[in-house]
Amino acid sequence: MSVRPLISIIMPIYNAEKYVCETINSILNQSFNNFEVILVNDGSVDRSGQICDEYSKKDTRIRVFHIENNGPGNARNYGISLAKGEYIQFVDSDDELARDMLEQLINCITNEPSDIVVCGVKKMNFLKQETIHSLSTRVSLDRDIKKDFIKLLKMGLAFAPWNKLYKKEIIDKYKIKFNNELRLGEDALFNIDYFSKANKVYIFEKPLYIYFQRTSSLTNKYNNEKERIQILLYNKLMEFFGKEIDANIIKEVNAYYLMEFSYVIYQNSIGIKNIEDFTQKVKDTKRLINSPEFKAVKKNNYPYSLIQRVVLVLCKLKCEPVLLLILYFHNKLTRPLFMK
């Protein structure tokens, strides 16, 4: 009789032939070995599916499923439905795990039974420069969970699904799923839903997940979608924190979302090609800054960064064309990574 795996590792894969071997190897080389790997080939048109099949022949812990392309959220949901483990770990197909990641996370949740474990992250950019996002080890209960969620949010670690160990029991009990209709923000919504049901959160200091930023390009492809998603997430977060939210938490949420809304405007400025395009993007920017969510955010009293202050001042002065031109030429001259 087969032994039930303790952890189900779910990896959505789409055209990842360049990196997927390194990712799978980092999983198979874990110091902890009581796990299964569910590889969901999300309609790849390169050799990703073939590579996964080859790995499954070499290691019985690997199961491969080939589905039509419908985005990573759908692929993760598919993996969850097939998972046999007590815990769920998500991995992106171009990242890697520290060799002791699973062992460390299981030790955390065994020594201090919790609903979720969150660990730090090592981020590698396209220039091979690394940034370490370490956390302070602690266990959060009740209202402290929301305070710590804000800290994770500011570090860019709250919404990602890959630096966390989830209890499948909670996912199943509350029918928590990734929104199949979204190609952006579905992981953020999943985590907000999950944290809203968690009574105990274990935050572990070590950066055990290695996240690779594979490109420096800031695409303009999903601008309108990103605006809609950021407004959706802002409202979802305010719902999560509740009406009796602490004033300081409101400030932190609004500060974070001024950054996100500013980033939408920044992306909006990148793809300007002609006067007609510029005119449309001015309209898009006006629509965003006239939204109730942006109006709520800009009332915030907070020590913002320079770029955020520029956005605030020009928006208050209704100088959207000037703002777009400043951001457009700023990008052309510096090619920055903005505030991410």
Looking at residue 263, what is its pLDDT?
A: 86
Tell me the residue type at 320: E
- The DSSP result for 193-242, as a single string, is HHHHH-SEEEEEEEEEEEEE--------TTHHHHHHHHHHHHHHHHHHH-
Count of CA atoms in the C-beta half-sphere (13 A) of 68? 1
Looking at residue 224, what is its pLDDT?
A: 63
Distance between CA 123 and CA 121 in Å, rounded?
6
Average pLDDT over residues 91-99: 97
Residue 234 CA, chain-centre distance (Å), reads 15
CB 119 within 8 A of CB 42: no
CB 234 within 8 A of CB 147: no
Q: What is the pLDDT of residues 201-235, one digit of tens each?
A: 999 999 999 999 876 433 434 456 888 999 999 99
The candidate with the shortest Cα–Cα distance to 44, out of 9, 8, 19, is: 19
Helices then strands, counting H and E runs in the chain, come out as 13, 10
**pTM for this prediction:** 0.90
Looking at residue 217, what is its pLDDT?
A: 37
Distance between CA 73 and CA 177 in Å, rounded?
8
Q: What is the pLDDT of residues 278-325, one digit of tens each?
A: 999 999 999 999 999 999 888 776 667 777 788 888 988 899 999 999
